[in-house]
Amino acid sequence: MPDTTQNLALPLIAANQAQKHVTHNEALVQLDALVQLACLDKDLAAPPAAPVEGDRYLVVAAAPTGAWAGLSGQVACFRDGVWVGLAPRPGWLAFVADEGDLYIFTGSAWTSFRATLASLQNLARLGIGTAADAVNRLAVKSEAALLSWDDATPGSGSVRLTLNKQAAARDAGLAFQTGFSTRALLGTFGADDVALKVSPDGASFSTALSVSAATGRLALGRIAGPVEIGTHAGALPDAPPQTVLRVSGADGTTPRLVLDGYGANAAGHLAFRAAAGSAAAPAALPPGAAIGQLSAYGYGASGYASAPRVQVAFLASEAWSDASQPTRISLRTTPAGTTATAEAFAVEASGAVRLAPLAADPTTGLAQGQLYADSTATALKWYTGTGWARISNFAMAAATTSFDNYVPAGAWTKVQFNIADSNDQGAFAAATNRFTAPEAGLYRVLAMLTYKRNNASAPTAFEVQLYRNGAPAGRGRAAATGALVDGVTALSLATTLKLAAGDGVEVWVRFTGADGYVAAADASFGAQQLG
C-alpha cells in the first residue's frame, strides 16, 4: 500500500501506526495549503524577508535561491517557520493575488488562464449569448458589437474586417434581415463587383447600386428624388415641387454643372425628351406642348417665387407626326411691376425671329441698344440712349392729282394732290392734300410740277414752295422765270424737314403776271421718313 495519496501526495496512516494524529494532521495541513490554492506572487526568485505562517508563492524562477533553492516550478508554503515545496501535478489551478489572474500547471510550466482565453485557437464553434450551429459556427446575440483598434499592442491604429471568398464566382457579403428574412445584401455576389441589393420579401432582389471592380465606375438603379449635390453646410429652403436633382453652392459661391466633352463633335450635351400620354403608352406631342425648358426662380421679400420669372422653352409649334415635327423657341420674361411672365422673343419653326409686340414705348430699364416691336407704330424701334427711334416701316407716301390745278395770277395756291399712289402708315390725306408726320423725326419731301397754259395767258414766273402747318416752311423753294413753255417748263423741289409729330406739309405754287395751271399729267408729291 502506498504511503501517500495519488494526486495530492497526502500522507496516509499506516496500519497499526503509532501517533496516528501526526500523520493525520500533516495531511490536513497539506490540504489546507493546496485546496483553493491562492498564492501571493509568482515573480520572486528568493523568499520574502518576513513571511507569515501559511503564505504561499508560485516559484517559477529557473534557479531560485535561499530557502527556495531547488523549488523551481513548485508551490512554496511557509509552515511552522520553514519553507516547504509542494510539487504540482498537471491541471492544478492557482490564483495569483497580485495579478488577479488564475494560472494552470501544464505539466511543465505555470500558464496564465487569462492568456489562454486570449489566444483560443481552432474552436469548432463559438456562441455568445446564443447557441452556434453547424452553419453559423460563430453566433452572437447582443444589442451591439464593437470592433476597435488594438491599443494593448500598439499597431497602425486601424481596424479591418475581412470577408474572404474562394473565387470570384462565389459570394462574400453582409446580409441584413428582418425576422430572419433578408432585406438587403452588400458585398460581392457571383463576381468581384461590389453590389447593394434590396428585397421586400427575401426572395426577389433589386440591385440599387453596383461598382465595377475593373473600372471603379458606379452604376445606380432608380433614384428617388430629389438628389442633392452641394457644398452648402447649412440648412436650405425647401426645393420646388417635383424637384429631381438639386445642386447648391456655399454662400457667396456659384454652383456649376459642367459637361465636359473631348474630340470632334463631342461637346457636352443637355438633352430633353417629352411625349404626350404616359411612360407606358407615349403619344405624339400636341401643338404648344413643351419639349424642354430652362426656368429661373428668385427670392422676393418673403419667399421664392411660386412660378418661374424667366424661362426659355422649346415647344411643338404644331401637332407632331413621324413625318412632321416643327418646333419653336420661346423666351419669357417678367415685366417690371408684375409677377406674370410674357413671351418677349421667339424663334419660329420657319427660322424667323419674332419680337413680342408692345403697344407703347417701354419706360423702365432703358439702355442703349435695346430693341422692341411697336404694335402701335407697326415698326421696330431701338433705344438711342436718349429716346426710342424707328428702324423699320418708316412713313412714306407718293401722291398725284387727277386734274389740272388752276392757279390765279399773283396768289399762292395749294396744289390739290388727291390720289395716293403709296401711303405707308396713312400719312398722306387726299382730303386735305397733306402729308402728316406720324412721329417726330427727319423727313425728305419732294415735289414735281409742270406748267400748263391757260389759253393765251403768259406768266413770267412759276414758283413752288412747301408749307408747314399752313405757313411757308422756310426750307425749300424753286422758281422758273422768263417765257414759260406749255407742257415743258417744270419745277422740281426736294428738301429735308425736321417735323414734330402731327406736323402737316403741303405744296403751294404761284404764277406771276398771268394765271395758269399745274398740269395733272406730270405732277407728283412725295415724302419719306428718314429717322
State the Cα angle at 462 between 457 and 464, rounded to 5°.
Answer: 140
Q: Do residue 418 and residue 520 come from a single domain? A: yes
**Domain extent at residue 40:** 36-118
Span 416-442, pLDDT tens digits: 999 999 998 899 999 999 999 998 999
Residue 427 is assigned to a structural domain of this protein: yes
Q: Do residue 401 and residue 291 come from a single domain? A: no
Q: Do residue 325 and residue 404 come from a single domain? A: no
What pLDDT score was predicted for residue 425?
Answer: 85
Q: Do residue 439 and residue 343 come from a single domain? A: no
Domain boundary at 90, 118, 146, which? 118
C-alpha cell at 265: 463633335
Residue 444 is assigned to a structural domain of this protein: yes
Strand pairing report for 56-58 and 38-39: unpaired
What pLDDT score was predicted for residue 114?
Answer: 84
pLDDT above 90 covers what percent of the chain? 68
Residue 502 is assigned to a structural domain of this protein: yes
Residue 64 is assigned to a structural domain of this protein: yes
Average pLDDT over residues 336-341: 92
Q: Do residue 332 and residue 435 come from a single domain? A: no
Q: Do residue 320 and residue 402 come from a single domain? A: no
C-alpha cell at 458: 403768259
Q: Do residue 436 and residue 332 come from a single domain? A: no
Span 308-322, pLDDT tens digits: 999 999 999 999 999
Residue 143 is assigned to a structural domain of this protein: no
Q: Do residue 326 and residue 422 come from a single domain? A: no
Residue 251 is assigned to a structural domain of this protein: no
Q: Do residue 420 and residue 476 come from a single domain? A: yes
Q: Are 461 and 521 in contact (CB under 8 A)?
A: no
Average pLDDT over residues 199-222: 92
Residue 414 is assigned to a structural domain of this protein: yes
Domain boundary at 118, 152, 187, which? 118
Question: Which parts of 391-452 are beta strand (E)?
Answer: 396-400, 405-407, 413-414, 419-423, 428-429, 434-436, 441-452
Q: Do residue 277 and residue 340 come from a single domain? A: yes
Q: Do residue 400 and residue 348 come from a single domain? A: no
**456: CATH:** 2.60.120.40
Task: Specify the number of domains making up the chain.
Answer: 3
Q: Are 361 and 381 in contact (CB under 8 A)?
A: yes
How high is the mean pLDDT of the chain?
89
Residue 137 is assigned to a structural domain of this protein: no
Strand pairing report for 419-423 and 353-355: unpaired
Q: Is the pLDDT of residue 387 over 80?
A: yes
pLDDT higher at 26 or 308 = 308
The span from the first CA to the last CA of the chain, in angstroms, equals: 145
pTM of the model: 0.57
